[in-house]
Amino acid sequence: MQEKQQLLDTHARIRPVIHRTPVMSSRQINAIVGADIYFKCENFQKTGSFKYRGASAAVSSLSEAEKQRGVVTHSSGNFAQAVALAARNLGVTADIVMPSNAPQVKKNAVQGYGGLLTECAPTIAAREAGSLAIQKQKGATALHPSNQIEVILGQGTATMELLEDHPDLEAIFVPVGGGGLLAGTAMAATHFGQNCVVYAGEPFEVDDAYRSLQSGQIETNATANTIADGLRTVLGDINFPIIQKYVKAIIRVEEDEIVAAMRLIWERMKIIIEPSCAVPLAALIREKDRFAGQKIGIVLSGGNVDLSQLPF
């Protein structure tokens, strides 16, 4: 019950600053899959992704003294933008460490949202060192994009809303990268669903989460050769036990399946999603016989696509 109350408290705290995103469906996609699918459109969330929920939850949970000292994070994309705006909306200074090779459009967005941008070498070590230096210098609170309980609870609020609109969903599909969205979704489905089962989609090219569930310990990837750039990160020690406890299975998909699912949503639903966002639909299509006739939710995680890098 503690988790349920934490989710309720988090949603109440961030509700005034987030969009309650729409739920959409497509008769054509339903016919292709053979199921009734309800898409929770977090591509319409502020900053273009679900990560604004977790960032708002984390910043709003700080004490007044912590807010005065500001926050810091390192990110190459969606979480950077989410923290910058969430902090600005609450009057908190946000330092954002970004790799020098991050897309200029994302750097511009961070600065446009009021974030203080620090560039670093394009390595995880450099990002962590830059973030730690600011932490020590300013006393800022470090925020993690996926392995922090406040962030996980914030991400879970998307599924809470989806289940308020459609309480009889039998399954919910999300992508898995760092694991924050998957952990939050699984918690929310467990406490607010009616025997609602959670699945994740993951590219074969970066199947660390799938292998982690098999081995019982956090695995890493030798390469990151996937179009789903938002899923190249690995699970953390806070979200992994939640995923182990509540997630039914992870379904892996090929790169061409991701592109096909992305194209399907663009063409049939007339909305923009990024490649990572297409992975759960790709997973459902791959295993559609298992889910025939079911009522299924999919969290469309974001729409921050680089239009110069479209795969079609």
In the residue annotation, 51 being an active-site residue is answered as yes
Q: Which of 76, 131, 146, 276 is catalytic?
A: 76
Q: Which fold has domain 52-142?
A: Rossmann fold (3.40.50)
Calculate the alpha carbon distances from 141 to 73, 98, 134, 268 in Å: 9, 17, 9, 43
Consecutive H or E run containing 164: helix 149-165
Identify the CA nearest to 109 among candidates 79, 81, 72, 78: 81
The overall average pLDDT reported for the chain is 95
pLDDT band at 26 (very low <50, low <70, confident <90, very high): very high
pTM: 0.95
In the residue annotation, 146 being an active-site residue is answered as no
The residues with which 177 forms a beta bridge, in sequence order, are: none
For 181-220, the pLDDT digits (tens) are 999 999 999 999 999 999 999 999 999 999 999 999 999 9
Domain covering 2-49+148-309 in this structure, CATH number? 3.40.50.1100
Read off φ and ψ for residue 20, nearest 5 degrees.
-85, 100
Residues of the chain with CATH 3.40.50.1100: 2-49+148-309, 52-142
User: Within 10 Å of residue 117's Cβ, how many Cβ atoms?
Assistant: 16
For 286-307, the pLDDT digits (tens) are 999 999 999 999 999 999 887 8
Q: Which of 46, 51, 106, 107 is catalytic?
A: 51
pLDDT in the model for residue 268: 97
